[in-house]
């Protein structure tokens, strides 16, 4: 999940280069953008996150701040409705003294329990430099545009009792065990669903690729929170898009601790038949889920939403909801990166 910030930096650089054409002054070329990330995980899997983006020159920093006085616009891909993370209490601010942009937030479900191990998606092309019983340190160095380099460090503070750390550089997944006593009590959950009200049939392959453009083109998102006092085990979630897909393989989570949250996404493998649509049509998005309490009792439910599928020659330039619009030009062109695939 944290490789998403690498994509965010590329977006920031794009905004910089685009805004330069609006000004006559010459701005020094970007050499190195530094991203310092500091995260603190709790025993439920949530994380307090502090990210500092430092720009290489004061001139570049002023350029960005002038072009985008509202810093939210720059990080909207992380905080908005299309985000692949769930933030709470997010604060974004410019810091003039250090030519920086800072993001402070709580990330729900940053670590999830699968097959009895806690998983954190640090991101591919990352190296773990150090780990001990309290923290792990990661480094990523990647080219951005031309001669520009992006250097990211991530210090991850682990919950008390974490052991047996493992990092797979091929997948970018960091895992650990956590010594804890099973929680027994009342079983209560809060389940919210988000979905895209419209999708474009011409881009049906895009929606099945979680690696493309920050993973923001998911069809549906499930936010499952354990609001009770008992552990929840074997949470299973599956999706289906009308007659254009089969039921997706179940996403399985071994444990949701009291107060913990799971954020799950649907990237469907859509039938090529969808490209035969000449005009807008509708399909039912179905979501089903089940889970067990600590005594083994099974609970299950399902929901259905009707979504619009645009015809093969129809393109939606922006799918930003009104509450996320800030009055800048990019509001109306949020889907422009998809034009190359149209």
Per-residue pLDDT of the chain (342 residues; tens, 9 = 90+): 554 444 444 445 445 444 444 443 444 454 788 999 999 999 999 999 999 999 888 988 998 899 888 888 777 666 666 678 899 999 999 999 999 999 999 999 999 999 999 999 998 889 999 999 899 999 999 876 666 788 999 999 999 999 999 999 999 999 999 999 999 999 999 999 999 999 989 889 988 999 887 788 899 999 999 999 999 999 999 999 999 999 999 999 999 999 999 999 999 999 999 999 999 999 999 999 999 999 999 999 999 999 999 998 876 655 655 555 566 656 655 666 665 555
Pairing verdict, β 298-310 and 198-200:
parallel
Instruction: DSSP for 59-123, please give it.
Output: HHHHHHHHH-SSGGGTTHHHHSTT-SSEEEEEEEEEEGGGTEEEEEEEEETSSEEETTEEEEE--
Q: Give the number of other CB atoms < 10 A from CB of residue 116.
A: 10
User: Phi, psi at residue 303, to the nearest 5°?
Assistant: -140, 165
Q: Give the number of other CB atoms < 10 A from CB of residue 69.
A: 11
Which domains are present in the chain?
4-178 (no CATH), 189-319 (2.60.40.10)
Contact 138, 156 (CB under 8 A): yes
* Tokens encoding 81: 């409705």
**pLDDT at site 6:** 47
**pLDDT at site 239:** 99
**pLDDT at site 124:** 86
The closest alpha carbon to 62, from 100, 17, 5, 15, belongs to 100
Contact 319, 335 (CB under 8 A): yes
Give CB contacts under 8 A, 24+ apart, made by 156-165.
156/39, 156/41, 156/120, 156/122, 157/38, 157/39, 157/40, 157/41, 158/41, 158/133, 158/134, 159/41, 159/42, 159/43, 160/43, 161/43, 162/118, 162/133, 163/133, 165/131, 165/136
Distance, in Å, from the CA atom of 315 to the CA atom of 342, rounded to the nearest integer, reads 8
User: Phi, psi at residue 14, to the nearest 5°?
Assistant: -60, -45
Distance, in Å, from the CA atom of 49 to the CA atom of 34, rounded to the nearest integer, reads 16
Contact 265, 318 (CB under 8 A): no
H or E stretch at 47: strand 47-54
**pLDDT at site 157:** 98
* Tokens encoding 7: 């994509």
The closest alpha carbon to 293, from 224, 228, 222, belongs to 228
Distance, in Å, from the CA atom of 33 to the CA atom of 274, rounded to the nearest integer, reads 42
Helix (H, G, I), strand (E, B) or coil at 341: helix
Report the predicted TM-score, pTM, of the whole model to 2 decimal places.
0.85
Helical H segments across the chain, by residue range: 4-20, 58-67, 76-79
């Amino acid at each position: 999940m944290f490789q998403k910030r690498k994509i965010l930096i590329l977006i920031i650089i794009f905004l910089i280069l685009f805004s330069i054409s609006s000004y006559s002054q010459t701005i020094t070329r970007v050499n190195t953008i530094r991203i310092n990330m500091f995260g603190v995980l709790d025993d439920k899997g949530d994380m307090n996150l502090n990210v500092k983006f430092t720009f290489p020159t004061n001139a570049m920093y002023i350029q960005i701040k002038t072009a985008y006085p509202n810093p939210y616009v720059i990080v909207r891909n992380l905080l908005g409705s299309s985000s692949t993370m769930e933030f709470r209490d997010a604060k974004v601010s410019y810091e003039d003294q250090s030519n920086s942009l800072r993001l402070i937030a709580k990330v729900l479900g940053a670590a999830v329990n699968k097959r009895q191990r806690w998983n954190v998606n640090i991101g591919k092309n990352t190296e773990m430099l150090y780990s001990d019983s309290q923290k792990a340190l990661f480094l990523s160095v990647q080219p951005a545009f031309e001669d520009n380099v992006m250097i990211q460090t991530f210090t991850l503070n682990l919950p008390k009792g974490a052991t047996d750390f493992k990092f797979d550089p091929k997948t970018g997944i960091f895992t650990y065990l956590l010594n804890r006593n099973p929680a027994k009590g009342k079983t209560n959950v809060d389940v919210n669903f988000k979905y895209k009200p419209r999708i474009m049939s011409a881009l049906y392959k895009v929606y099945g690729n979680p690696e493309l453009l920050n993973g923001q083109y998911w069809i549906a998102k499930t936010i499952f929170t354990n609001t009770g006092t008992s552990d929840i085990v074997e949470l299973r979630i599956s999706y289906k898009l009308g007659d254009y897909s089969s039921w997706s393989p179940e996403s399985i989570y071994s444990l949701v601790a009291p107060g913990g949250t799971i954020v799950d996404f649907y990237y469907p493998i859509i039938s090529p038949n969808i490209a035969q649509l000449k005009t807008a049509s509708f399909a039912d998005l179905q979501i089903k889920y089940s889970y067990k309490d600590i005594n083994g009792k099974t609970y299950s439910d399902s929901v259905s939403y009707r979504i619009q599928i645009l015809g093969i020659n129809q393109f939606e330039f922006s799918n930003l909801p009104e509450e996320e619009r800030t009055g800048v030009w990019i509001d109306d062109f949020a889907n422009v990166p998809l034009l190359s695939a149209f």
